[in-house]
Structure 1
Amino acid sequence: MPRNDQVTRQWHLLQRLGVARNGLTLAELVEAIPADLTRHPRTVRRDLAALEASHFPLLIERVDGEVRWRLLDGFKNIPALRLSPTELMALAFSRRLLSPLQGTLIQTSLNSALTKISAAIPAGATEYLQRLDQWFSVGLGPHKNYRHHRETIDILSQAIAHRHTVQMRYFSAGRNATTRREVDPYRLRYVDGGLYLIAYCHWRKDVRMFAVERIKALTPTDHPYQMPLHFDLEAYVEDALVVMRGERITVELKFDKGTAAWVKDRTWHPSQQVTPLKTGQLLMTLQVADTRELLGWILSFGSGVQVLKPERLQQAVKDEATKLLAQ
């Protein structure tokens, strides 16, 4: 049995228990499990025992001759946490950090939680909270807005949770065309200001990454799928500089003194290795996918960077610079 099945079942059990005032019988808990997962009462009993072993405060009661499970009220009323005034205000102030995730279930839940936190702040302290803007501000940088994609994100979230295939009409920017796809949604991934769907495409017969805002229409199905046991989601994206995948190459760059001063303090990719030179210059080595994304990133440093390896990347940078001059 895949471990994800157990986690998914327990998630659904906690969701139902969290809203059940009088607790639930074993039969009702079994019904809370999606039909594509194991729904045997013995399995659900093991899940309940595992949750209790993980310190979730489950209470077992006998009501009218029936055994019922429920969560202790103290666990539901978690806002009794002791937070200092500055901690409360810092959390309330962080609301704007969630702007790029607007339209997602995560943003909705976090925004709801922060609203409750804000309500706990005394009226007089809100003026101080507003003054925080005078010494601390948040620059989100370029990002996409998902306010108008809430339904798409909701459908994808449900399909991922239940592991059901979806049908979609998708606009491919590279080919400037809209096609119909049937995909098995594996995970939503937020990176560099954008939200992407990692899914197995039945048309391409391969795992692909789809930009959520380019999904023009989406229809859920009742067709279950199983993620291959050998598939590693983190390994799938590890070569991408941001989101584009391609052939992995070893890149060696040399930054001049002025550019090195601010390049060295950032992690541009997990594989990077940097070597400061006595001249103030900086050598950097990366293992990344050979894509237009990589080319654009190198060009963003202008004359402050030199490509040492590989030769084909050197030539690609020269060709692109020549085109820029021609324009």
Structure 2
Amino acid sequence: MNTDRIVTICRMLSLSRRAVPLQVFLDELEISRATFKRDLASLRDRFGAPIVYDRDAGGYRFDSSSPDGSVYELPGLWFSASELYALLAAHRLLEQIEPGILADHLAPLQSRLAELLGAGGHPVQEIERRVRILSIARRRVEPRFFAHVAAALMRRHRIEIDAWNRARDEVNTRVVSPQRLVHYRDNWYLDAFCHWRGALRSFALDTLRRVRLLPQKAQEISDAQLDAHYTGAYGIFAGMPTAQAVLRFSAERARWVRAEVWHPKQQQEDLPDGGLRLTVPYADERELMMDILRHGRHVTVEAPQSLRQRMAEEVAVLAARYGVGLASAS
């Protein structure tokens, strides 16, 4: 018995609004009539599948005369090989996003998936060999802090945190109402309402030094308010946009940037020379400047003037640090 075919036959019958002709099964599964008949017999005898042949409709369907009116499902946990591969690849992703955080919770699932793959002749070792997740500049998070924050988030409770401010090199104690966990550029952030500041704030989870669950219920903030605050401007620096950055990319670099999403509300304009003009809203230029700098001479800031000035100052400092004058560098 081929488990892939068994799952596919049941799925085809469940999803179809009418009887499925024999030839459709043979074409989809790429099997002979005899093989299909054997699979059908296995489904009926071993799994009690109420599959009947409807002569009027000219195909197979599930018997709709079930006493409780329910649709037949295979007993237990069933996946096709492709679904199992996808699940294990997703598990691999979670495992490498932050090693150790979910390992204990996902271990039973991983074990069960490995059994199912093994039964179908698909070695789980291949997934581990073939799927690679490359993380850049990932900062390690204390697993227990992640678990505490996630628990408070889902239970809708406030938490007291000691958060390290990197810019000022100081630790502040705050009470916050968790709103969302965000995985952004290989690092975890907590979007929360800060009761100390009386406003929405984001906290990098790796900066947390202590987390304590509080009995008070979290203050609820609507999705519309969260989206307006956290996705209105460019990058991780939240807030309402204060300016529009207009960036002109060379024809060479435009081949990459044209396929990128820098911001949900960005605007793109193809230029006659093959280049690209990209416009993105921003509230804080720090992260935007880093992304501009990685494109080097292939990007020009056209507007606003304040951002052009900041970029010019940054480039001047870099040139001086390498002992190169701006005139000679150009």
TM-score between both structures, scaled by the size of structure 2: 0.67
Tell me which amino acid in the other structure corresponds to 1:118: A
Q: Deviations over 1:166-210 (max 9, x none)?
A: 112110012111111121222212221111111121222211000
Q: Distance in 1 between matches of 2:83 and 2:171?
A: 48
Q: Does 1:185 align with 2:178?
A: yes
- Count, aligned residues: 249
Q: Distance in 2 between matches of 1:254 and 1:115?
A: 51
Match of 1:269 in 2: 263
Match of 2:206 among 188, 213, 220: 213
Tell me which amino acid in the other structure corresponds to 1:167: E
Residue 268 of structure 2: SS of its match in structure 1? strand
Tell me which amino acid in the other structure corresponds to 2:282: V
- After superposition, residues 289-300 of structure 1 pair within 5 angstroms as 289-300=283-294
1:126 deviates by 4.5
1:84 deviates by 2.5
Q: Distance in 1 between matches of 2:145 and 2:124?
A: 39
1:323 deviates by 0.9
Q: Does 1:257 align with 2:251?
A: yes
Q: Distance in 1 between matches of 2:157 and 2:147?
A: 13
The structure whose Rg is larger is 2
Residues 186, 128 of structure 1: alpha-carbon distance in 2 compared, 3 angstrom cutoff: closer
- After superposition, residues 146-161 of structure 1 pair within 5 angstroms as 146=140, 149-161=142-154
Tell me which amino acid in the other structure corresponds to 1:211: A
Match of 1:195 in 2: 188
Would you identify which runs of 4 or more consecutive aligned residues in structure 1 move more than 6 Å?
Answer: none
Match of 1:96 in 2: 92
Match of 1:162 in 2: 155
Tell me which amino acid in the other structure corresponds to 1:85: A
1:109 deviates by 4.7
Gaps of 5+ in 1: 1-71
Using the aligned pairs only, state the percent identity: 27
Match of 1:222 among 215, 222, 235: 215
Match of 2:230 in 1: 237
Which piece of structure 1 moves more, 177-186 or 312-321? 177-186
Gaps of 5+ in 2: 1-69, 322-330
- After superposition, residues 21-36 of structure 1 pair within 5 angstroms as none
Residue 141 of structure 1: SS of its match in structure 2? coil
Residues 174, 308 of structure 1: alpha-carbon distance in 2 compared, 3 angstrom cutoff: same
Q: Is the 8 A contact 1:246 1:291 kept in 2?
A: no
Q: Distance in 1 between matches of 2:171 and 2:316?
A: 33
1:293 deviates by 0.5
Q: Distance in 1 between matches of 2:132 and 2:233?
A: 27
1:284 deviates by 1.0
Q: Is the 8 A contact 1:251 1:309 kept in 2?
A: yes
Match of 1:315 in 2: 309
Match of 1:118 in 2: 114
Q: Is the 8 A contact 2:158 2:217 kept in 1?
A: yes
TM-score between both structures, scaled by the size of structure 1: 0.67
Q: Is the 8 A contact 1:251 1:310 kept in 2?
A: yes
1:149 deviates by 1.7
Tell me which amino acid in the other structure corresponds to 1:253: L
Q: Distance in 2 between matches of 1:191 and 1:95?
A: 18
Q: Distance in 2 between matches of 1:122 and 1:84?
A: 12
